[in-house]
Amino acid sequence: MWIIKHRSIFYILSVILIVGSIVTFFVPGIRAGIDFTGGSLAVFHFDTRPELEVFTEGFSAIAEEKGVADYTIQPTGEEAYTVRTEPITEAQKDGLADGVAEVFSENNASLEQFTNIGPTVGSELKSKAYLAIGIVLMAIVLFITFAFREVSKPIVSWKYGLATIVALAHDIIIPTGAYILYSKFFGGELDMLFISALLAILGFSVHDTIVVFDRIRENLRINATGSKKEDFELTVGRSVEQTFTRSINTSVTVFIVLLALMVFGSDVIKPFAFTLLAGIVIGTYSSIFIASPLMVTLYKQQSKK
């Protein structure tokens, strides 16, 4: 199949995307949300939202009076501003809410949402997020190795797990880079919702990869039963061809749902939907164009020894 034959092109494309994504980790980088850093988040709602400069000027005076020095303001939707601050007390929260309601009374301002997370809790959430991703990756590798333990020829079973883990790393890095660029232009931060999206991407991607690998296993068994001698590269190519339409169709249905969320969803859900959208596209690509061709590359390296 042409995908296997021209696999070097797809490897190069993926390397370019991965390097570009890693660069975005540093430039422009991403701001960690209060889930990980700790702090307070307040959403102020308005019947008629004032201009950003006007709100910033009014809020600055209120914050100075209440002893809140470190804060950022971000427009949220058409009728709200989100204010992130250092961790504040209940009295400071009430003071900010009353002050905004008084200063912007003509706009019918009100405190719509308030969240306060201490730095210790934030650090704990960050550790748990990293741990969750690590456990998921380890569990997937062990499962793949176990599931394909009876397929030791012509390539050892643990290399199915290796190809899967490479594809999963590919599927985490590139959507993360895409999300960083998205957050640069449309707002967003590294929070638990983003981690949830990454975990969902891992699940979807490995599911798609297993479908292709399972077809490879079945074709190897059929070849062995019928004493058919077929080059491993041809078997992989035939397996990818047999599952290609199914993989695309499955992804398109999920893609349509997520696209609807992006277009019609609230501003809160859009970063989550975008991350999943990027993950579904990249995950489908890696299952077809990276994971399976990588099996051929590993087989050829194994054959040289």
**How many CB atoms within 10 Å of residue 219?**
18
pLDDT digits (tens, 9 = 90+) for 252-263: 988 999 999 888
Average pLDDT over residues 78-99: 88
Closest of 143, 132, 148, 268 to residue 200, by C-alpha: 132
- Residue 180's pLDDT band, with cuts at 50, 70 and 90, is very high
Task: Give residue 95's region: left, alpha or beta (phi > 0; psi -120 to 50).
Answer: alpha
Better-predicted residue by pLDDT, 3 or 178? 178
pLDDT digits (tens, 9 = 90+) for 194-232: 888 988 998 888 888 888 888 988 898 888 887 778 888
H or E, element range at 39: strand 39-45
Closest of 159, 253, 252, 167 to residue 207, by C-alpha: 167
Which pLDDT score is estimated for 209?
87
Average pLDDT over residues 70-87: 83
Contact 299, 232 (CB under 8 A): yes
Confidence check: pLDDT of 177 > 90: yes
Phi, psi of 229 (to 5 degrees): -95, 110
C-alpha 61/C-alpha 3 separation (Å) is 62
pLDDT digits (tens, 9 = 90+) for 116-163: 876 666 677 778 878 888 888 888 878 887 877 776 677 887 888 888
Return the percentage of the chain with pLDDT > 90, whole number.
35
Residue with tokens 């998205």: 182
Exposure string for 278-287, b = 16+ CB within 10 A, e = fewer = bbbbbbbbbb
Locate 170 and state its tokens: 């590919």
Check whether the bond before 87 is cis (ω within 30° of 0).
Answer: no
H or E, element range at 169: helix 158-186
Average pLDDT over residues 271-285: 93
Average of per-residue pLDDT values in the chain: 86
